[in-house]
Structure 1
């Protein structure tokens, strides 16, 4: 077991102390304004969306048209995996799901102000904190029914004849429970894959099971996140932030924490995506860093084991990076 380091604010709250589903606001005070205060909602382009600022001009939230993901200013925290190298990510950005996709003028809809008020300054686990709860050395967490909802995740069992583990570990395999999807299809966990998630299974675990984003059983289009990275990129929901042009995007500054990143690692002639990651933001060296589940690290990592987890260093993942979406 390695050492997992995730700290929040000046009090140094460890990730193992942030318990529970991300449904209730934290008790910590916030420096941000109340949602009932005199806020301004500024429209922006590329991608289209709305920036929420207070009377002092402080950015409180960023909302993107066609996406449920919102980034919210909150207490500073640091994500790090020192045992695997790479710089830590220190950020004030918290990533949360809105109950509806954003659109121009949604600030006047009845659901928005109460939602914003609940989430401004909240330290309840968000998408990034939930992702960190599966890194190497993360402590085990169980819900009231005894389901292991968090803790160090592996990639999967060895393949045939001791070969590499195939990418067949979904979120329900990690949890060890059966799952019925909205289309009435049901899946049962593979006992050999208990506690394991592949790259897309990790995204579905964090965004779907933990954050509540709808999930699909297959790779077909539908109102939810499909099973595989290629389907997430091609037919999955969300707003395209960086389109696939066949080469690594250069305008990574358009990314925001929580975005899904897509990679063509095998560089096969079909040019289809075969890896997906969650963007964390700029690390303490100023490089764009992500977290994903991979074989070489035997599970989710934001460190540099099996390839640097950054988009701008010319490494294997940087060369294979192709597109990004915002859920």
Structure 2
């Protein structure tokens, strides 16, 4: 099976290096000695890590799901969580806040930093070289994680291009307007947003559509964040394999990682199983047996509600806001009553 690779044809090579936009969505890291300001932002209220020495950490095993919780031996404070079979790791770091003022008054403030392990976690991995090297680096890393990358596609976020002229972040749309003029088309994948042809690890290839440049539907958005930006392998099919399938139902059913909440074809309420960075799946269209929407769980907002972020038609792109339905799992609204399952990649 050939390795996933990017091709060199760039239909949008003239995209500007950085478009300075008025930030209606704020995502800024603030340290305690730096003056605050602006709307939204990330504010640090405590140190981002404790000593990384192995002899100062305690590794504790818990169930439901099977996972290893790492604590500071001195104070018993949780430092990280690693789930068996999953690459998604939760590390404790500086507190920061995510907001989208054009779409909601809510703010999510969290000390969770979500990163991808080099390989899935397994019992005893804490003594293996690949992990100890990664963990020592990751605990001091305040560069963009899953949550920060996910918010780089919200309303008015500035564009940025790489050395090859590929725009890899900035305000994303959902898809082109339907020919009828009523609503927007689905099926915009990450390579459409990028304007970049792609060879997948399962051997299939894809070409971007010019009309979909800068657009991602809900699963395309998840693939953009976890796959293109953070390096998880991507599939071009909706079948089991070594990577993220294309559609929401396929990611939920046989995607990588661990299923946290099984789809029992009724509203899910297993909030205690979730941690930031988990994928949450919904049934929002006509077929009650098919999961057709996916988002990324952010955590509790300042109203105490479980909030997620996803790409949607009504607001035309990724949002953590409340336009066309609240981005909540527990308020009795459209999406909360449509929530069916969850997976940790």
Q: TM-score range by the shorter chain?
A: over 0.9
Q: Report the alpha carbon displacement of residue 216 of structure 1 after superposing the two structures with TM.
A: 0.1
Structure 1 residue 317 corresponds to structure 2 residue 335:
yes
Instruction: Give the secondary structure class of the aligned counterpart of 2:68.
Output: strand
Question: Deviations 1:160-206 (Å, cap 9, x if unpaired)?
Answer: 12132221100000001111111221111101100000000000000
**How far apart are the structure 1 equivalents of 2:68 and 2:234?**
26
Select which of 38, 50, 61 maps to 1:32. Answer: 50
Structure 1 unmatched ranges of 5 or more = 19-28
Structure 1 residue 273 corresponds to structure 2 residue 291:
yes
Select which of 199, 206, 216 maps to 2:218. Answer: 199
C-alpha contact 1:288 1:310 (8 A) present in aligned 2 = yes
Select which of 190, 203, 225 maps to 1:171. Answer: 190
Q: Which residue of 1 aligns with 2:278?
A: 259
Change (3 A) 1:66 1:13: farther
Change (3 A) 1:2 1:119: closer
C-alpha contact 2:223 2:234 (8 A) present in aligned 1 = yes
Select which of 89, 108, 127 maps to 1:89. Answer: 108
Select which of 105, 113, 125 maps to 1:106. Answer: 125
Instruction: Give the secondary structure class of the aligned counterpart of 1:154.
Output: coil
Change (3 A) 1:31 1:9: farther
C-alpha contact 1:247 1:322 (8 A) present in aligned 2 = yes
Q: Report the alpha carbon displacement of residue 7 of structure 1 after superposing the two structures with TM.
A: 2.7
C-alpha contact 1:35 1:113 (8 A) present in aligned 2 = no
Following superposition of structure 1 onto structure 2, how do residues 208-287 of structure 1 map, counting pairs within 5 Å? 208-269=227-288, 271-287=289-305
Change (3 A) 1:14 1:74: farther
Q: Which residue of 2 aligns with 1:5?
A: 26
Change (3 A) 1:298 1:34: same
Q: Which residue of 1 aligns with 2:322?
A: 304
C-alpha contact 2:173 2:316 (8 A) present in aligned 1 = yes
**How far apart are the structure 2 equivalents of 1:93 and 1:227?**
27
Q: Report the alpha carbon displacement of residue 319 of structure 1 after superposing the two structures with TM.
A: 0.5
Q: How many residues are aligned here?
A: 315
What RMSD, in angstroms, separates the aligned Cα atoms of the two structures? 1.9
Change (3 A) 1:74 1:171: same
Structure 1 residue 52 corresponds to structure 2 residue 73:
no
Q: Which residue of 2 aligns with 1:21?
A: none
C-alpha contact 1:196 1:299 (8 A) present in aligned 2 = yes
Q: Report the alpha carbon displacement of residue 146 of structure 1 after superposing the two structures with TM.
A: 1.1
Q: Report the alpha carbon displacement of residue 51 of structure 1 after superposing the two structures with TM.
A: 0.3
Change (3 A) 1:149 1:37: farther
Structure 1 residue 128 corresponds to structure 2 residue 147:
yes
TM value normalised by structure 2: 0.88
Q: Which residue of 1 aligns with 2:4?
A: none
Instruction: Give the secondary structure class of the aligned counterpart of 1:319.
Output: helix
Question: Deviations 1:27-64 (Å, cap 9, x if unpaired)?
Answer: xx844221445211000000000001112211110010
C-alpha contact 1:263 1:274 (8 A) present in aligned 2 = yes
**How far apart are the structure 1 equivalents of 2:339 and 2:228?**
26
**How far apart are the structure 1 equivalents of 2:50 and 2:301?**
24
Q: Which residue of 2 aligns with 1:26?
A: none
Instruction: Give the secondary structure class of the aligned counterpart of 1:76.
Output: strand
Q: Which residue of 1 aligns with 2:17?
A: none
Q: Report the alpha carbon displacement of residue 293 of structure 1 after superposing the two structures with TM.
A: 0.1
Q: Report the alpha carbon displacement of residue 241 of structure 1 after superposing the two structures with TM.
A: 0.8
TM value normalised by structure 1: 0.92
Structure 1 residue 116 corresponds to structure 2 residue 135:
yes
